[in-house]
Amino acid sequence: METLKLSKEELSKKRKADFFTGLLILFISIAMLFESFTFPMTDSYGGVQNVWYVSPALLPILVSSLLILLSLILIKRSITDGGFKQAIEDFPKLTQTIRSEGSRRFFIICCYLIAYVYGVIPYVDFFIGSMVFLLAFILPFYLDRSELFSVSFLPFMVTSTLIGILGYQGMVSSLLADIALLAIMLFITLCSYLKIKGDSELFSKWRISVMTSVLTPLILVPCFKFGLLVPLPTEGLVIKAMEHLAYLVR
């Protein structure tokens, strides 16, 4: 459905990206094809003599060959539409593109997601981890103040990266990680409050952010843990306390 009529400039910009993706897909597909040829084709595997038409390599070879063909077509199209030329012309402006507002925001959002999933979730109590993640993520975006990134994004990133690295090497206890993130929660709450102090509109948004970050895990955790009986990725300080409370109530 090539329904959209693009201007020459827009087209070459789009084809510039296509040129790079075409190359990337070509490279990965060739690697996939080579790897597929290492799968048993006619030799024996697990005591069974193989024949080419039942080989586990059959679909990967078919798929990688088609991907190679299509990526070559994509590269050729991108060269014809001026994408390659645009790529060479724009190469000096690469840092400018990376520093653009959209790229910066994309990079920050990805960092939040990566830090939460790889750094926090495996080592910190799910309640605490989600609460701090929500506060650090909502505050700068909802209040739309760039100065808040320094008091929410940076502390969250540094702590979660440290916890992630130390946790991976087995050098941090769950309790210590929980306490560290609780301290970060306190730090973000206080610092952000000081930054927006005096502005009633921002204060109301700040209050909503703090409430959302506390209420969300407060609702979600009991629902999953006690309602759906799904154990959470890491159960530490708060979830253990909830468990004791639930035991007492029962």
Partner 1 sequence: MTMDFFSNLGIFFQTILQLIDNPMTILLLLGASFLGIIFGALPGLTATLGVALLTTLTYSMDLETALIALISMYVGAVYGGSYPSILINIPGTAAAAATALDGYPMAQRGEGGRALGLTTTASFIGTVVGMLALIAFAPLIADAALQFTSYEFFLLAFFGIIISGTLTSSDLVYKGWIAGLIGLALSCIGRDQLQFYPRFTFDLSQLDGGIEVVPVLIGAFAVPQIIRSMRDRLTLGKPQPIKRILPEFKTIRKNFKHIIRSSMIGVGIGAVPGVGEDIAGWVSYGTTKNSHPKPENFGKGEPAGIIASETANNSCIGGALIPLVTLGIPGSPPAVMLLGALMLHGLNPGPMVVINRPTFLYELCAIMVLASLAMWLNGMFLAKHVIKVLRVPATVFLPIVTVLSVIGSYALGLNIFNLYLMIPVGIAAYLLGEMDYPISPLVIGVILGPMADENLRRALMVGEGDLTGFFERPVSLLLIAAIVLTICSQIPAWKRLSSRLIARFLKRSEGEQK
Burial of 143 by CB count in 10 Å (0-12 exposed, 13-18 middle, 19+ buried)? buried
Shortest distance (Å) from residue 134 CB to partner 1: 5
Please identify which residue in the block is written with the tokens 């927006």. Answer: 196
In the chain, what's the furthest Cα-to-Cα distance?
78
Shortest distance (Å) from residue 168 CB to partner 1: 12
Q: Decide: 30 and 68 in contact? Cβ < 8 Å.
A: yes
Measured from the CB atom, the residue of 59 and 246 that comes closer to partner 1 is 59
Shortest distance (Å) from residue 138 CB to partner 1: 5
Query: How long, in residues, is the chain?
Result: 250
Q: Retrieve residue 127's tokens.
A: 């309640």
Shortest distance (Å) from residue 119 CB to partner 1: 12
H helical segments located in the chain: 8-36, 58-80, 83-90, 94-98, 101-114, 126-143, 147-168, 174-196, 200-222, 237-249
Measured from the CB atom, the residue of 113 and 175 that comes closer to partner 1 is 113
Measured from the CB atom, the residue of 142 and 187 that comes closer to partner 1 is 142
Q: Decide: 225 and 239 in contact? Cβ < 8 Å.
A: yes
Shortest distance (Å) from residue 11 CB to partner 1: 10
Measured from the CB atom, the residue of 106 and 186 that comes closer to partner 1 is 106
Measured from the CB atom, the residue of 18 and 178 that comes closer to partner 1 is 18
